[in-house]
Amino acid sequence: MSNSGIPEKTGIMVCGHGSRNQNAAREFATVAEGLRARYPDAPVEYGYLEFCNPVISDGLDRLRDKGVTRVLAVPGMLFAAGHAKNDIPSVLNTYQAQNPGMVINYGRELGIDLKMIRAAGARIQAALDKANAEEGEVALHDTLLMVVGRGSSDPDANSNVSKVMRMLWEGFGFGWGETCYSGVTFPLVGPGLSHAAKLGYKRVIVFPYFLFTGVLIKRIYSQTDEVAANHPGIQFVKASYLSDHPLVIDTFQDRVQEILDGQALMNCQMCKYREQVLGFEGEVGLPQESHHHHVEGIGGGLEDCPCKGDCDASCRDEDFCKLHGLPWTPVHSHASPAPLEPVHDHSHDHGHDHHHDHDHGHSHDHPHGHSHEHGHSHDHDHSHGHGHDHHHHPYPHADHPHGPRSMDKKKS
């Protein structure tokens, strides 16, 4: 047993989604750095599903090369949706099957945690203090809190954002609280803020409940500016996302300890893959599989990109790449959104080639399937390039008037 409480030959692996935004990748690396400081005698590595190097298997290789025989793997994600429930476990299970000398124990997502609520509260308080100093005091009762979640096709993950909002609303005593999402589900940021503006509050605090920066954070703030321009009588305040707040790192440490204590349990009672959830009855028992294996490490940010590491999704546009002499990856182009068809029949087989529109502030705009909470945007046309069929279940509300169809995809 090491001085940090981690048994010998045991390592820690932080599993992230990955982002084209280099700043997001750098911020994610700070989680591993924070854990290394807390576990100085245990090897700590990190890796991504896609868009960034190192990929998860590379991080596991490094642990193996250091003599690690047991890995404590924690998902670097706020809530358990498609990435945490399917994609990461699939990668870990595959690696363990290929390396029989290694045991990988998987932990749970950060989830709704009082430490995370306190970290969120600190970001909101900092935004309030700054706004009061610069614009004058506005009473909390005259302030509306808008919490922005990633958005997914998993209602359990979406509902968690609403609970976070309620705890922050009640904790601060704001006049009102609302929830919106950056993609996949409804209401999206634009419709959500436009609705909030009708409620008559003097100030609206927009707080992205995200771990790291990325394309979606930039889009959330941009859409906030657009709605604010239409409502000059309301003060819109943009709070910071969570980032590497010490309480966030503390929560990751708690997740590692839960694995050691044998208490790493996900919330499976409301999981659409295990139980019948209203509106998602056709997804019970779907196989656990990842659709990221063919894009591991592909499409990371370019060091010579004009965005200087703070990607705003311009590099997904073919004309932009030609103008700046940058490589363009058709498999992950962002030129056009996928068709969003409503779902009326769960009885037929959905094993078809399809086009994914993925928006990641850390997740995926998935009209046809899993959710993803995270900082970048990508379009997957899986029907060509690698001949890969995906068996994703359609999202039943893809045609919601305040959902994916309303997303404004103006080119940067």
What integer pLDDT is reported at residue 8 of this predicted model?
95
In a domain, 123, yes or no: yes
- In which band, very low, low, confident or very high, does the pLDDT at 188 lie, cut at 50, 70 and 90? very high
**Does the pLDDT at position 408 exceed 80?**
no
pLDDT of residue 310: 59
Distance of alpha carbon 168 from alpha carbon 147, whole angstroms: 9
Over residues 36-50, the pLDDT tens digits come to: 999 999 999 999 988
Q: How many domains in the chain?
A: 1
What pLDDT is recorded for position 326? 67
Range among 7-21, 49-63, 218-232 with highest mean pLDDT value? 218-232
Percent share of the chain, pLDDT over 70: 65
Measured CA distances, 324 to 209, 254, 320 (Å): 33, 45, 6
Q: Counting Cβ atoms within 10 Å, is residue 229 exposed (0-12), middle (13-18) or buried (19+)?
A: exposed
Residue 167 lies in a domain: yes
Domain hosting residue 203, numbered range: 114-238
How far apart CA 142 and CA 133 sit, in angstroms, is 17
Q: Is residue 219 part of a domain?
A: yes
33's CB contacts (< 8 A; 6+ apart) are none
Q: Which two tokens stand for residue 215?
A: 């394309």
Residue in the structure block whose two tokens are 């060091």: 303
* CA–CA distance, 73 with 14 (Å, rounded to integer): 6
Report yes or no on 65 lying in a domain: no
> Which letter does DSSP use for residue 393 in this model?
P
Which of 33-47, 120-134, 397-411 bottoms out in mean pLDDT, i.e. has the lowest? 397-411
Note whether 77 and 108 are within 8 A (CB): no
Cα 105 to Cα 71: distance, rounded to the nearest angstrom: 6
User: Is residue 143 a part of any domain in this protein?
Assistant: yes
CATH number at residue 214: 3.40.50.1400
Q: What is the pLDDT of residue 266?
A: 53
Question: Is residue 269 scored above 50 in pLDDT?
Answer: no
- Lowest mean pLDDT segment, chosen from 219-223, 225-229, 267-271, 400-404: 267-271
Q: How confident is the model at residue 18 (pLDDT cuts 50, 70, 90)?
A: confident
- Structure confidence by residue, pLDDT tens digits, 141-163: 999 999 999 998 889 889 999 99
Tokens of 78: 């706020």
Residue 292 has pLDDT above 50, yes or no: no
Average pLDDT over residues 300-320: 59
Question: Which residue did the predictor score with more confidence, 19 or 127?
Answer: 127
In a domain, 339, yes or no: no
Q: Please give the Cα distance from 149 to 164 (Å, whole number).
A: 10
* CB atoms near residue 353 (< 10 Å): 12
- Return the number of other C-beta atoms located less than 10 Å from residue 276's C-beta: 11
DSSP 394: P
- Please indicate whether residue 307 or residue 398 has the higher confidence score (pLDDT): 398
Tens of pLDDT, residues 192-241? 999 999 999 999 999 999 999 888 999 999 999 999 999 999 999 999 99
In a domain, 162, yes or no: yes
Grouping H, G, I as helix, E, B as strand and the rest as coil, residue 246 is helix
For residue 180, give Cα distances in angstroms to 94, 171, 397: 35, 19, 15
Question: Residue 241, class by beta-carbon neighbours within 10 Å (0-12 exposed, 13-18 middle, 19+ buried)?
Answer: buried
Band the pLDDT of 22: cuts 50, 70, 90.
confident
Highest mean pLDDT, choosing among 239-248, 262-271, 304-313, 340-349: 239-248
pLDDT of residue 70: 97
pLDDT band of 5, cuts 50, 70, 90: confident
Residue 326 domain flag: no
- 297 pLDDT above the threshold of 80: no
pLDDT digits (tens, 9 = 90+) for 66-98: 999 999 999 999 987 666 888 899 999 999 999
